[in-house]
Structure 1
Amino acid sequence: MRRLPLALALSALLPFVALAQAEPAAKGTKYRSAKEIIDAAPDSAWRDLDPANTLYMELPAGRVVIELAPGFAPEHVANIKTMAKGGFWDGTSIYRAQDNFVVQFGDVDADDAAKAKKHPAGTKEKLPAEFTRKGPARFDRLKDKDGWAPQVGFTDGFAVGHDPAKKETWIAHCYGALGAGRNNAPDSSIGAELYVVIGQAPRALDKQLTMVGRVVQGMSLLSATPRGPEPMGFYEDPAQRAPITAIRLASDVPAAERTNLQILRTDSQAFIDATEARRNRKDDFYTIPAGHIDLCNVPLPVRTKK
């Protein structure tokens, strides 16, 4: 089981929209908060979650909705879909909750050949490391400096770092990011053991693990998971593990039982303006606008489809 510590000038070929290019407010125009901007966003600024790339993690306390990232980790996502269709995670658990770091889930007995849960037919038992991707075709860039990447922004709705010299992009370890646990070997993950960031963004892990998606709804259910003991948060008492009823692809769930969500497009003017409003708060409480925003402090607005 992949349970070792997890803490072990843009290219001309890369078109982008600079998220800093918010439309200037007319003189005398009232400051609008990010919420006001998002609430007023037109329907055209929103995109539907693709049921074929959406997971429902069913917990006794409710549903966690996860958007997968096939554009960044196609082989891992394909494996995850195979395992979800085969019911691999049904009846497993969240067996680790490390404070200010991650929750981790899967088969707690995966390292014991006599007890390990069999992977569904079609599961690949060896995958390449998918830490970065080339390109991509579109990158919605933030103007803000970052300590972990030459450039940061959004691709396919995911918070990413980008290196224009290497033409590489990767999903950042922001709150809610979903990654595939591994052992020391870079290619030792297959997507069976997964983790979600529940604390301060551990960006030192960027480009060290394969990132496969992010939670879009239900983070409160994961972040409220009781913490396991020091140093790593693995539960010593099996009774403390949080049971997982099922993990299914939304496309395999009857339409009437789906959670129909939409995400604000990161190339929309509403997203650009809302990000600028967060970067430079001008309401009565803030005396000095920050003039800066951290990548992982830019939330991706989500709404129920109208």
Structure 2
Amino acid sequence: MKHSLLAAAAALTLTAPSAAQQAPAPAAEIPSPGEIAAAAPAKDWIAIPASDLLVMDLAPDVKGKPRRVVIQLMPAPFSQGWIGNIRKLAAAHWWDGTSVNRVQDNYVAQWGDATEKKALPDGLAVVPESNYLASGRAFPIKVVLRRQNRKDAYTGAAVPLLGWPIALDKGSAWPVHCYGMVGVGRNMSPDTGSGAELYTVIGHAPRHLDRNIALVGRVISGIEYLSSLPRGTGALGFYETEAERVPIASIRIATDLPSADQPKFEYLSTESDSFAKYADARANRRDPFFIKPAGGADICNIPVPVRAAK
């Protein structure tokens, strides 16, 4: 598709408290998920290291407005071979002068070298397909014991864990394709891609891609600069002419930018009480607009709140 964090972990309890346990609050007093996140204490927010931020500056739009996309890279144990390559590519300024060359409606926006002729820097790893998965043994047992299994249509369970949407099954864990997640384009198996071709999900979560393609991060700022681009008219949404492609001015790890230009973000800890309340509210909307709580939520409908840090 180039053209193209547990042995048993577990999930948040996402059901509403029973009436016998607690009388419902008046509708006007029930906070929305966003209000719950906004009210979370500072201790529940975790700073994202600048070294884990990939900053992509697109060419300005037609009105001269800057377009910056910030990607948070996955932490260990996931996808570290590809992420090591991405760090090398960014250090070599390899993406400078390349482009966003594919935008497929309700699917992905992809970027890299449209010509497929640009030489890659030396020292990139060839990553095996086994690295699509991580062992559940990598996770703290206290996290496992604090959660209950949450069923998932695609696997045994899927949970917001250690800040990411994670699927779990038979002692393995892997990140899943939710909106804004960033993956590695590849050719046919056994090729797994180098990390030079990247894409982000801009439509309904394509969960069928899980465990078939490496996920390396997520867009935490600027997704609108990718999701709103004109759709490609070629096969799979590729742009057919150079004029249609969106030039990439630069892609850098944030620590390689001047201090004043380094973005700062933090996310709501998925192991916090605030997140548990937020996730319950996502699954059971009780704020005034809603008539009937859904009684559940897909993993991709519980996005981890991320905000700019001071």
TM bucket normalised to smaller: 0.7 to 0.9
Q: 1:274 aligns with which of 272, 275, 278?
A: 278
Q: CA–CA distance in 1 between the matches of 2:17 and 2:275?
A: 12
Please say which of residues 15-24 and 280-289 is displaced more in the overlay: 15-24
> Which runs of no fewer than 5 residues in structure 2 stay unpaired?
61-65
Q: Which runs of 5+ in 1 are unaligned?
A: 111-115
Which string of whole-angstrom CA distances, capped at 9 and with x for unpartnered residues, describes residues 75-110 of structure 1? 110010011011010110001000010011111111
What is the CA deviation profile of residues 259-288 of structure 1, one whole-angstrom value per residue up to 9, with x for unaligned ones?
111111111111110111111111232221
Asked if the contact 1:144/1:294 (under 8 Å) is kept, the reply is no
Q: 2:97 aligns with which of 91, 97, 121?
A: 91
Distance across 2 between alignment mates of 1:254 and 1:31 = 43
Alignment of 1:1-306 (within 5 A): 3-4=2-3, 6=4, 14=8, 18-20=12-14, 27=23, 29=25, 30-59=29-58, 60=60, 61-71=66-76, 72-110=78-116, 116-124=117-125, 126-129=126-129, 130-135=131-136, 136-138=138-140, 144-163=150-169, 165=170, 167-306=171-310
Q: So what's the TM-score if we normalise by structure 1?
A: 0.88
Q: Counterpart of 2:23 in structure 1: which amino acid? A: K
Q: Per-residue deviation at 1:16?
A: 5.0
Whose helix fraction is larger, Structure 1's or Structure 2's? 2
Moved more, 127-136 or 80-89: 127-136
List per-residue Cα deviations over 1:194-241 (Å, max 9, x = no partner).
111100011111111111111111111110111001541111111000
Cα distance change of structure 1 residues 17 and 227 upon mapping to structure 2, 3 Å threshold: closer
- Percent identity of equivalent pairs: 39
Rounded Cα–Cα distance in structure 1 between residues aligned with 2:128 and 2:68: 30
Residue 118 (structure 1) shift: 2.0
CA distance in 2, matches of 1:142, 1:221: 37
Question: Contact 1:172–1:203 (CA<8 Å) still a contact in 2?
Answer: yes
* Alignment coverage as a number of residue pairs: 291
Amino acid at match of 2:127: L
Aligned-partner SS, 2:236: coil
Q: Which residue of 1 aligns with 2:63?
A: none
Deviation at residue 70 of structure 1 after TM alignment: 3.9
**Distance in 1 (alpha carbons) for counterparts of 2:48 and 2:287:** 33
Preserved contact between residue 177 and residue 214 of structure 1 (Cα < 8 Å)? yes
TM-score (norm 2): 0.87
Partner of 1:113: none
Q: Is the 8 A contact 2:14 2:296 kept in 1?
A: no
